[in-house]
Amino acid sequence: MTLSKRCFAEFLGTFWLVFGGCGSAVLAAAFPSLGIGFAGVAMAFGLTLLTMAFTIGPISGCHINPAVSVGLVVGKRFPVSELLPYVVAQVLGGILGSGTLYLIARGKEGFSLDGGFASNGYGVHSPGGYSLLACFVAEVVLTLFFLLVIFGSTDDRAPKGFAPIAIGLCLTLIHLISIPITNTSVNPARSTGPAIFVRGWATGQLWLFWLAPIIGAALAGVIYSQLFAEGPQKTVRAAERSR
């Protein structure tokens, strides 16, 4: 599969993740008297990733997250030469997903970006009012464990065919923990999409939701490759094809 086709798959996958996950938060979380709440939003993010892992996993590996791509590079599961094209495709997919959501959301009278549009934030823009340090630690730790699950479930020694389920459920758990803290990022592309439309404080705080997930992912790559890997592993694409 050519790099351009794999990048297009990443673009579509990230679009679906942001549109589906953030869409559930913007459109359905607090729907009058029958909102899905935090648990529903967490499930929506997990389902978007799970469905895309089965759909584009055999094509691109279904990173749909710049931090995942960085972590896989550090863990020697993905070539560094393909990192930038993947990240660009992911960010563009996230922006288009947010743009499509914006077009739909503004179709309802009274809609305003003042509600945050599912953007990530810290301090006064954290849903629970958590500090910068607390949000930074949460994003690093949660991304680290997210990548460890990805590494482990796609390891040659892992049972075949179950990786998308483990990874999707892990993202659900991450959201159940951290929606009140940062609105949950662990994905710079997911954070960039809504921030582009909210602007102001959202773009001003966006740096954290690039830095912390990438640090967590890189740490996971070092930990897994140095402590748990056993012999040369397949690339992520080959691992996905074996599912």
> Residue 36 and residue 86: Cα distance in Å, rounded?
32
CB neighbour list of residue 68: distance below 8 Å, 6 or more residues apart: 146, 147, 150, 187, 217
128 vs 47: CA distance, rounded Å: 25
Entry pTM: 0.93
CA distances from 227 to 79, 151, 223, 230 (A): 20, 12, 6, 9
Residues in the chain: 243
User: Structurally, what CATH architecture does the domain formed by 3-241 represent?
Assistant: Up-down Bundle (1.20)
Tokens of 48: 């978007």
CB-side neighbour CA atoms (13 Å) of 13? 31
Per-residue pLDDT tens listing for the chain (243 residues): 999 999 999 999 999 999 999 999 999 988 777 789 999 999 999 999 999 999 999 999 999 999 999 999 999 999 999 999 999 999 999 999 999 999 999 999 989 999 999 999 999 999 999 999 999 999 999 999 999 999 999 999 999 999 999 999 999 999 999 999 999 999 999 999 999 999 999 999 999 999 999 999 999 999 999 999 876 665 555 444 433
- What are the residue boundaries of the structural domains of the chain, listed by start? 3-241
